[in-house]
Amino acid sequence: MPVKTVPNERFWVVAPNALIAQLGSSLTGLPTVEAGRRLAEHGPNTVADQPRLQFARKIGRRLIEPLVAILLVAAFVSGMTGDWPGFVIITGIVAVSVGLDVVQEHRAELAADRLRESVAVKASVRRDGQVATVPVEELVSGDVVELAAGALVPADGLLLVSRGAQANEALLTGEPYPVSKRFGACDAPGPAEAFNALFAGTAIVTGSATMLVVATGRATRLGGVAVSLAQRRPPTAFEKGLHGLGSLILRLTVFLVLFVLLAQLGFQRPPLESFLFAVALAVGLTPELLPMVTTVTLSRGAMRMARKRVVVKRLAAIHDLGAMDVLCTDKTGTLTEARIALSDATGPDGTASPRVLGLAALNAGLASGVPSALDAAILKAAPLTAGWTLLSEAPFGFERRRSSVLCAGDGERLMVVKGAPEAVLAACTATEDASGHVQPMTPALRASLLNGADARSAEGLRLLGVAARSVAEGEVLEGPESERDLVFAGFCAFLDPPKESAAEAVARLGALGVRVKIVSGDAAPVLLHLVQTLSLPCKGLLTGEQIEALDHSGLVARVEEVDLYARVSPDQKRRVILALKERGHTVGFIGDGINDAPAIHAADAGLSVDGATEVAQAAADLILLAPDLGVLAEGVEEGRRTYANIMKYVRMGTSSNFGTMFSMAVASLMIPFLPLLPAQILLNNLLYDLSEMGIPFDAVDREDVAAPHGWNMGAVLRFTLVMGPLSSVFDLATFGILLWGFDVTAEAFRTAWFVESMATQVLVIFLIRTQGSAWRAARPHPVLVATSLSALALALALALGPLAPLLGFAPLPGSLLAVIAGLVVGYLILAEVLKRFASRVERV
Ligand SMILES: Nc1ncnc2c1ncn2[C@@H]1O[C@H](COP(=O)(O)OP(=O)(O)OP(=O)(O)O)[C@@H](O)[C@H]1O
Ligand SMILES: [Mg+2]
C-alpha cells in the first residue's frame, strides 16, 4: 500500500485518526520492518550533511581561497610559458598543503563526531506494539513516540496524548515561556498557535506526551535553518583573537606584496617572475595551517578528555574550559552523592506521621511521566496504596515548585500537593495533624512551620511540604490556580549525603585559578550546611527572592563576592551566569536538570552529565560520563594545553616565518636577482608547514596549565616585534656574508639562503615551544621531533642532493656550509635569550 509520507503542511488541522491512516500507521506504532523501509527511502532524521559531502565541500572551499586560487593561476601561467619545474612544484604544493590540511582536519572532526555520538539522544518509540529505544536519527513519519519532561522533541508531529505537557518553543516562536499542549481539534493558521502539535527543536519542560511523527529531518519546520542557527554560537574571545590576527596578517601581506611587486616592476624585472615571486611571498606569509592546527589540537584534546570520560560536543568549548575562571554548579549529583533517601515524614507538630507519607506516595506514585529522584525516594519508603486512580494533575514546575494530583479512591476525591515548604504553605489555609485535629492557618503558625523547616534544612535535610484537600464531584484540577484552600499535612525530609571527593575537586579547581559557585534550586540552609560539611571556600548568599528584586546591573554588582545562590529559578540561574560574564569572567556551568538548561546554554562552557535530562545534555558543550567534579580539573588543564600548543604555532608564524619572508622582500629590492625563486619560496614554505605538523601533539609546560588565560593581542605583537626582526637580522647577515664574503652566484646564493632559512625556521620551534629554558622544559613530543627533523633533512637533501639542479640550486663549498652552521647556532642562542624578553608580558 503506497503511503503518503509528506502530508499537509498544516498537519494539525487533520483529525488524528485520518492522519494516522494517511501515514499508514496505528496507535501501536509502526512495524519495525516498515520503519526500516521508510528510513531507507526517506533518509535519517537529521539535518546534518553526510560526511562524504562535507569532505568534498571542504576541499572545494580550500580551492577557492584567494591565495590557493592565485597559486593555481600561477601554475597555469608557468605551464603555458614552458616553466615545467615551476608548474610541477606549484601544483604539487597546492595538492600537498590542501590535502594535508583537509585530510588531517577531516579525520580530526570525524573522530570528534564519533565521540559525540556516544552521548547522542535516543527516543522511546512504539514499534511492533512495544516501546523500544532507538536513536532519534532512525525515527520516520508514522512513528509513535513517548516524550517525558526534559525531552527534546525529535521531529514534527501531532499530539495523541498530553499529560499536562508544556513545551518551550522559543526556537520556533521566540516565546520564552512554556506553552500548554493539549489533544484536540485545532484549525490554527500557523505552527505558533497549533496547541495540538509539537515541533522538532523544541522541548517538553513539564508533563509528558505521546506524539505521532509527521515530518522528520529537513522536512521539519525548523529544518536545517533554525537548527544550525541555534547551534551557531557567538565566537569566543580566543576565536575572535585568532580571527583578528589573521586579518592583520592579511593586511600586512597585501601591503608587503604590492610594495614588492611595484618595486620589482619599477626596477624593470621580468613581470611574470615578479608576479610569481610576490605570490610566493604571500603564500609564505599566510598562516595557512592555522585552521588545521587548531582543529587537530582541539580534537586531540577531545580524545584525551574522552579517556578521562569527558565527551566534547563542541570542540571550541575546550578553549572555554581552559579559559574558565568561574565554575557554577548545581548541587545534586556534583556536590552530593545523588543517592536521595527519605529520612522521615512528620506532621505539623513534628511527630512521625504515616499519613504524610501516604499522601506523598499518592502524589509521587500517581503523577505521570518519569518519577523525579525525590518521587522515587518517597515510593521506595512507601509504595502507592492500591485502589487510587489519577483523575488529573498539574505537573511539577520549577517556577511554582509544587506538583499536584487529583485522585479518587476509598470513596473520596482528593487533591494532593507537595513541593518546596514555602510554596506549599503559601497555598494552605489550615493544618491537620495525625489525630485529625484541624487548626486554621495564621501568619504566626505559617512562620513557625517555616522556621521549623529551616531548622531541619540547616541539618542538611531536604524538605518537601505535603498538603491536601477533598474535592467535590464536579470540580476539576485546572492547573496551578486550583492549588488553593489546602490543608497542610506535614513534611517529608530527605537525605542526600555530601560527596567527599567534591571538596578535593573544588580545591583542585581553586588551585588552577577557577572559583566555584553553587547555584541551586534548593533552600539556603541546605546549601550552607553543605558548604560547612565539605569546608568549601564559598562566601556570601543570595536567594531567588533577592535576585528577583535586583535588576541586571544590580546583580552584576553583587555576583563577584557572592558564591552561593539558593532557591533560584531556571531563569535566575541564567541571569547569574550572564551577570558573571558581564564582569569579564569566562564562566562554566554544570547541571543536569530541565531547570539547568538555560544556564548551561548561557555559559561559555556549558557542562552536563551522562544520564541528565535531554534538554540539559543538548544545551551542553561537554558531557561528563561520571558526575565527578574531579575530572573537570583535568579538563581545564587539557583546555589550557590545547591553547598553549595553538599559541606555539601562532608565535612561530608571526615571528620566525614572518621575519624570513620580510627579509626576503627586503633582499629582493637590494640585489639584482631574486633571493629565492618563486618555486623555492613555495618549497620552503611547504617544508616549514610539514615541520609544524607535530605541534598539536606536543607536551606543554606546567606553567602553561597553571592559570586561566585568554587571548592577548598585545603579547602576540610584542613577541612578533622582538623575534621577527631577530630572524630578519640573521637573514640579512647571511645575505651580506654571501654577497661580499663569498661573492657567490645567484644559484649558490639561493641555495645557501634556502638552507639557512630552513634551518633557523625549523629549529627555533624547540625554543619557542617553551617560555622557560629550552633544556629544562617538558620534553618535546616524539612526533614533533620527527616532523621537524625530517622536514629539515628533506630540505637539506633537496638543496644539496642530486635533485638540486632541477630546483635551481647549486653546490656550496664546505667553508660556506660551516659559516651557515655558525649563523644558525648564533641565531638559536640569541633567540633563546631574547624570547624571555619577548614573552615577558604574556603572563597577565
Ligand atoms: N518532584 C517534585 N515534587 C515537588 N517538589 C519538588 C519536586 N522536585 C523538586 N521540588 C522542589 O523544587 C525545588 C527545586 O528543585 P531542585 O532542588 O531539584 O532544584 P535544583 O536547582 O536542580 O537543585 P540542585 O542544585 O540540588 O540540583 C526543590 O528543592 C523542591 O523543594
Ligand atoms: Mg538539579
Q: Which of 368, 393, 522, 563 to mutate to test the pocket of ligand 1 (most atoms within 8 A of CB)?
A: 522
158 found inside a domain: yes
Domain-ending residue, one of 495, 521, 555: 495
> Which atom of ligand 1 approaches the CA of 334 most closely?
27
Q: Are residues 670 and 805 in the same domain?
A: yes
111 found inside a domain: no
> Which atom of ligand 1 approaches the CA of 568 most closely?
21
Looking at the CA of 520, which ligand is closest?
1
Query: Which CATH number characterizes residue 356's domain?
Result: 3.40.1110.10
In the structure grid, which three cell numbers stand for residue 483, read together?
492549588
Q: Judge if the beta carbon of residue 403 lies within 6 A of ligand 1.
A: yes
Residue 228 has pLDDT above 70, yes or no: no
Q: Are residues 686 and 777 in the same domain?
A: yes
pLDDT of residue 230: 46
Protein residue with its CA nearest to atom 4 in ligand 1: 419
Residue 272 has pLDDT above 70, yes or no: yes
Q: How far is the CA of 590 from the centre of ligand 2 (A)?
A: 10
665 found inside a domain: yes
Task: List CB contacts of 530: < 8 A, sequence separation 6 or more.
Answer: 331, 335, 336, 460, 498, 518, 536
Task: Please give the share of the chain, as a percent, with pLDDT higher than 70.
Answer: 94
Q: Are residues 560 and 530 in the same domain?
A: yes
CB-based neighbours (< 5 A) of ligand 2, an ion: 330, 332, 593
pLDDT of residue 670: 83
Catalytic residue among 330, 344, 592, 698: 330
Q: Which of 337, 359, 374 to mutate to test the pocket of ligand 1 (most atoms within 8 A of CB)?
A: 374
Residue carrying the nine cell digits 577557577:
514
> Which atom of ligand 1 approaches the CA of 329 most closely?
25
Q: Judge if the beta carbon of residue 573 lies within 6 A of ligand 1.
A: no
Protein residue with its CA nearest to atom 20 in ligand 1: 521
Count of CB atoms within 10 A of residue 352's CB?
A: 12
pLDDT of residue 590: 95
pLDDT of residue 734: 85
Q: Judge if the beta carbon of residue 567 lies within 6 A of ligand 1.
A: no
Average pLDDT value for residue range 139-163:
90
722 in Cβ contact with 656 (< 8 Å): no
Protein residue with its CA nearest to atom 31 in ligand 1: 420
ipTM of the complex: 0.96
Q: How far is the CA of 591 from the centre of ligand 1 (A)?
A: 13
826 found inside a domain: yes
Q: How far is the CA of 616 from the centre of ligand 1 (A)?
A: 15
Domain-ending residue, one of 460, 495, 530: 495
Q: Are residues 381 and 452 in the same domain?
A: yes
Q: Are residues 816 and 784 in the same domain?
A: yes
Report d(CA 732, CA 34) in Å as an integer: 74
Q: Are residues 329 and 395 in the same domain?
A: no
Q: Are residues 557 and 472 in the same domain?
A: no
- Structural domain harbouring 569: 310-337+499-625
Query: Which CATH number characterizes residue 559's domain?
Result: 3.40.50.1000
Q: Judge if the beta carbon of residue 400 lies within 6 A of ligand 1.
A: no
Mean of pLDDT over the chain: 86
Q: Are residues 653 and 587 in the same domain?
A: no
765 found inside a domain: yes
Q: Judge if the beta carbon of residue 586 lies within 6 A of ligand 1.
A: no
Report d(CA 343, CA 352) in Å as an integer: 11
pTM for this entry: 0.83
Q: Are residues 465 and 509 in the same domain?
A: no
Residue 15 has pLDDT above 50, yes or no: yes
Task: List CB contacts of 415: < 8 A, sequence separation 6 or more.
Answer: 404, 405, 406, 407, 468, 469, 470, 471, 477, 482, 483, 486
Can 330 be counted among the known catalytic residues? yes
Query: Which CATH number characterizes residue 642's domain?
Result: 1.20.1110.10
Q: Are residues 22 and 155 in the same domain?
A: yes
What is the band of 431 on the pLDDT scale with cuts at 50, 70, 90?
Answer: very high
Query: Which CATH number characterizes residue 141's domain?
Result: 2.70.150.10
Protein residue with its CA nearest to atom 27 in ligand 1: 332
pLDDT of residue 842: 43
pLDDT of residue 249: 79
277 found inside a domain: no
> Which atom of ligand 1 approaches the CA of 330 most closely?
25
Q: Judge if the beta carbon of residue 46 lies within 6 A of ligand 1.
A: no
What is the band of 307 on the pLDDT scale with cuts at 50, 70, 90?
Answer: confident
Phi-psi region of 527 (alpha: psi -120 to 50; beta: other; left: phi over 0): alpha
Residue carrying the nine cell digits 512495544:
130
Closest residue by Cα to residue 396 from 635, 569, 633, 257: 569
Q: Are residues 551 and 482 in the same domain?
A: no
Tens digits of residue pLDDT in 380-400: 999 888 889 998 888 888 888
Q: Are residues 566 and 483 in the same domain?
A: no
67 found inside a domain: no
Task: List CB contacts of 534: < 8 A, sequence separation 6 or more.
Answer: 335, 498, 499, 500, 502, 503, 506
Number of domains, the chain: 4
663 found inside a domain: yes
Average pLDDT value for residue range 164-185:
82
Residue 232 has pLDDT above 80, yes or no: no
Report d(CA 517, CA 23) in Å as an integer: 51
pLDDT of residue 2: 41
Residue 278 has pLDDT above 90, yes or no: no
Cα 43 to chain centroid distance, Å, stands at 27
Domain-ending residue, one of 450, 479, 495: 495
